[in-house]
Amino acid sequence: MQLSLNEDQTQILDFIDSLAKPFSTLPMHDVSLALESAELDEALVENGFLDVMAVEELGPVTAALVVERLARLPFAVEAAASAMVRPLIDPELPRPLCLMEEGKTRKPLRFLRPGATVVVAGPSGVKSFTATEEMIAPAQEDTLYGYPVAFLTSLPDAMTSHDVDAAEITRAWRVAIAAEAAGLLGAALASTVTYVSERKQFGRPLATFQGMRHRLAEDQVMTNTVYWMAMRAAGTGSQADAAMALQHAQEAAKRVCYDYHQFLGGMGMTLEHPLHLWTYRLKLLTAELGGRGAQGLAAAEALWS
C-alpha cells in the first residue's frame, strides 16, 4: 500500500482546502446542531471534486481522501455517498444521495429532503426513487444528530432497479462511512488539542499534564488507524477490509468521543464550542449498517467464505 500521496492527490486536496477555507470556521454566534452550505456544495459539484472516483488515474482512494477532508469541516457535506457509491450505480443520479438498507425505513436518513435520491440496497437488489414531500417526516427539533436528517413515512409503489451487485454497493457504503468517520475524528481531535493547549489550570496548560497526554496519544492512535484502514479498504476493494474499516471506525468513535468531551470540561457540554458538530455526527454514523456487531459478522463472513 502506498502511504504517501501522489502529486494529483496532493493538488486535489490543496484545491479543496483553498475552496473550503471560507467554511472552515463557524459563523459568528452560531450554535446550530447541523450546519449546511449550498454555496459550498455547488462549488464542490462545479469543480468536479465529487466525481474523482470515475477518473482512472485517481479512483476510489482519491475519492476517500476527498470525503475524509470534507468531513473535517464544521459544515456537513453530502460527499460520502455521492463520491464513493453513486459512481457504481449511476453517476447521473440527482443529489443529494440518501442510502438506506432494505427494510429499515424507520431509521433517520441523512440529507433527506424533497428531490433527494434515495437508494435502497438489500437482498432484493439495488433500487432508487426520488423523495417527495409527502413521504418525508422531519426529525424533532431537539434531536441531536449533527446532520440534517429526516424520516421516510412511506415508499413509492414503483422504484428504478439498477443492474449492480448489492454486496458491492454495501462494500462501497462501508468504505465511504469509514472515510467520513476518519475526517470527523481528525477534526474532533484537532479541536480538542487546540482547547487543552490553550486552557490553563494550576498555572499551566491542560495539555502539559501527563495523564491527559497519555489519553490523547491513545486517541490519536485510534484516529490514525481509522484513517489508514479506510484508505486501505478503498484501495483493495475487499469486502473484509471494508467491514473491518467500518467496524474499527465505529469502535473508535465510541471510545474517543467520551474523552474529547471530558477533556473540555464544562465547555464540552455546551454548544458554544464546535466539538459537538463532529461528535454528534460520529454518534449517528456508529449506527450505520447495523453498527459494530454487524461489521464484525460481515468481516468474518468475508474472510471465511
Nearest to 49 by CA among 37, 34, 64: 64
Q: What's the whole-number average pLDDT of the chain? A: 91
Alpha carbon distance 246, 296 (integer Å): 9
pLDDT for position 34: 82
Q: Is pLDDT above 90 for 116?
A: yes
| Highest mean pLDDT: which range of 139-143, 242-246, 300-304 | 242-246
Nearest to 119 by CA among 91, 167, 147, 160: 160
Q: Please give the domain boundaries of the chain with CATH numbers for all domains.
A: 166-304 (1.20.140.10)
* Residue 72: CA count within 13 A, CB half-sphere: 20
Alpha carbon distance 298, 289 (integer Å): 10
Of the pLDDT bands very low, low, confident and very high (cuts 50, 70, 90), residue 193 is confident
Nearest to 117 by CA among 126, 41, 44, 67: 126
pLDDT for 40-78, tens place per residue? 999 999 999 999 999 988 999 999 999 999 999 999 999
- Residue 90 is given by DSSP the state -
Q: What is the pTM of this model?
A: 0.93
CB 185 within 8 A of CB 252: yes
